[in-house]
Amino acid sequence: MKEQVDIVVSLEKRGDQKAWKRPIARRLKCHPKQIREIRLLKESIDARKDPVRFQLRVLVGIDEDLPPEVVPTYDVSPVDTAAPVVVIVGCGPAGLFAALRFLELGWKPIVVERGKDASARRFDLAPLLRKGTVIEDSNYCFGEGGAGTYSDGKLYTRATKRGPVRKVYETLVAHGAPPQILLDAHPHIGSNLLPKVVMAIRERIREAGGEVRFGYKVTGLLRKEDGKLEGVVNPEGEKLTGEAVIMATGHSARDVHSLLQAEDIQLEAKAFAVGVRIEHPQPLIDSIQYHYARGEERPRELPAARYALACEIEGRGVHSFCMCPGGFIVPAATENDEVVVNGMSLARRDSPFANTGMVVGVEPEDIPGDDVLRGIRFQKQLEQAAKKAGNGEDVLGQIAPAQRVSDFLAGRLSKDLPKTSYFPGLKSARLDELLPEFIVRRMRAGLKKFGHRMKGYLGEEALMIGFETRTSSPVRIPRDEDSLEHPDTPGLFPCGEGAGYAGGIVSAALDGMKVAEAVVRKSTPEAK
């Protein structure tokens, strides 16, 4: 007999399965000697109280061994040469997982990506970091794998009702991700490992008969006489057509939103969030979260501590975003006239710094005007203000404006700045004057609340770096709730983060799979 059970163990007993038998036996009302085998299914840390505990979900073999553990694999048959074709715009998680699902369903996907493949893309990050030169189609946001490839690879999601999360994890493991992501409650691949996983998925698509094309920037749409969207075209005039077009661009593909608006395709303004990156020494966060004195060494068995903070101030959310324990802050601009910051961690999370986005919700009504793209202009204005505050009138440069949290709260310029992981460099600036007053007011109130929850969080070592603006797209491309097709543009299927239907790697991957199934369902009557 096999049973699944949840138990709580101490740090000392985390790796000792013999010590797990007694609490398991009590839960299952059996004798410890009846337990033949224990297999860990899921693990999370409960640091709410001292001492820290581990919450484990285990599979238990009672009076018998468990069946052999299955190692995730992924196989898909090559598509027929006569298979229907679909064009997917964007090679992020939504586009890649949509392509895999199309192959499973016997369709041929053609994935087009404005940026470069993950290997070549890596070399374009060097001039961004060292010289402040943004290569506008190959950077931290654009290229194979999307914005997540070189900015962390966090997989934690609350989108468990949107689809088969486990399948996403297993697909990633089958393409080279660490099997540990199947066990962790907050799984993370790391920016040093994720590119290889993404490249393996791309090769899988090609081996099965799909296409992936890099350096293909969509600048036009192709329609049939009846108005149905059938394809895309690039600046060189290369046309690609299919049964449908999946628009799976990321949150920074602003030119695509402008193209859709110019084509009179309906768009909607949506809520988003903007703010800063807050950075602390990782040992400070460890001491706060794990309840030990500053200066003591973190136990080797404990990972770099993470945190999540959220509250509501005057009807708008103030919350941490994309927290990176043992991480780095990186320049995420997509044009040379802006400064944008984001966070990332390598797999080991062994940087001496911790950072998180700290953002305030923005609703469409918070921005004057009625243009559906006004949220993008709002983001851009902040990014240009950050550029000028950090770099003056220099055309190139990714020096970011920064301010100690204590000075932000007090409304004064920081005389000096603490050490940082942000490689291009910082310049002291009044972030509280660069940000709109309605953001500053709520940010200050929220930070004060968070300071009460985490003693030491607002100390002199806390640093704010501007600006975190690319949390999500300010624009939604509408779609029918059932068919997932655009309501007034047949053949167009909005998908993923850039369309306003996802908020991370896993939710974007789930949406890609869901949209692929919807396209096949609509085009293949017997599949309904």
Task: Cite the DSSP H helix spans in 47-162.
Answer: 93-104, 118-123, 125-130
Residue 527 exposed, middle or buried by CB count within 10 Å (0-12, 13-18, 19+): exposed
Pairing mode, strands 108-113 and 85-89: parallel
Q: Does the pLDDT value for residue 152 go beyond 80?
A: no
52 close to 302: Cβ distance less than 8 angstroms: yes
Indicate the residue type of 164.
P
181 close to 193: Cβ distance less than 8 angstroms: no
- Between 94 and 158, the more confident residue is 94
Pairing mode, strands 229-233 and 400-404: unpaired
Q: Which residues pair with 112 in a beta bridge?
A: 89, 213
Q: Which residues pair with 184 in a beta bridge?
A: 43
Average pLDDT rounded to a whole number, residues 394-402:
94
- Distance separating alpha carbons of residues 92 and 212, to the nearest angstrom: 12
| Residues 285-339: tens digit of each pLDDT | 999 999 988 888 898 889 999 999 999 999 999 999 999 999 999 999 999 999 9
Question: If you compute the radius of gyration of the chain from its CA atoms, what whole number of angstroms results?
Answer: 24
Q: Which residues pair with 58 in a beta bridge?
A: 5, 40
- Distance separating alpha carbons of residues 148 and 512, to the nearest angstrom: 15
Domains and their CATH numbers in the chain: 2-62 (3.30.70.2700), 85-268+475-527 (3.50.50.60), 272-468 (no CATH)
Dihedral in degrees, nearest 10, Cα atoms 227, 104, 97, 138: -80
Q: Does the pLDDT value for residue 526 go beyond 60?
A: no
Dihedral in degrees, nearest 10, Cα atoms 211, 215, 221, 223: -30
- What tokens appear for 434 in the block? 């660069």
Indicate the residue type of 446.
G
Indicate the residue type of 485.
E
37 close to 65: Cβ distance less than 8 angstroms: yes
Task: Cite the DSSP H helix spans in 269-339.
Answer: 282-290
414 close to 249: Cβ distance less than 8 angstroms: no
| Residues 20-30: tens digit of each pLDDT | 999 999 999 99
- Distance separating alpha carbons of residues 68 and 71, to the nearest angstrom: 9
360 close to 447: Cβ distance less than 8 angstroms: no
| Residues 338-356: tens digit of each pLDDT | 999 999 999 899 999 999 9
- Of all residues in the chain, what percent carry a pLDDT higher than 90? 87
User: What pLDDT score was predicted for residue 155?
Assistant: 82
User: What pLDDT score was predicted for residue 161?
Assistant: 67
Q: What share of the chain is helix, strand, coil (3-state, %, to 5)?
A: 30, 25, 45
Q: Which residues pair with 211 in a beta bridge?
A: 110
| Residues 227-270: tens digit of each pLDDT | 999 999 999 999 999 999 999 999 999 999 999 999 999 999 99
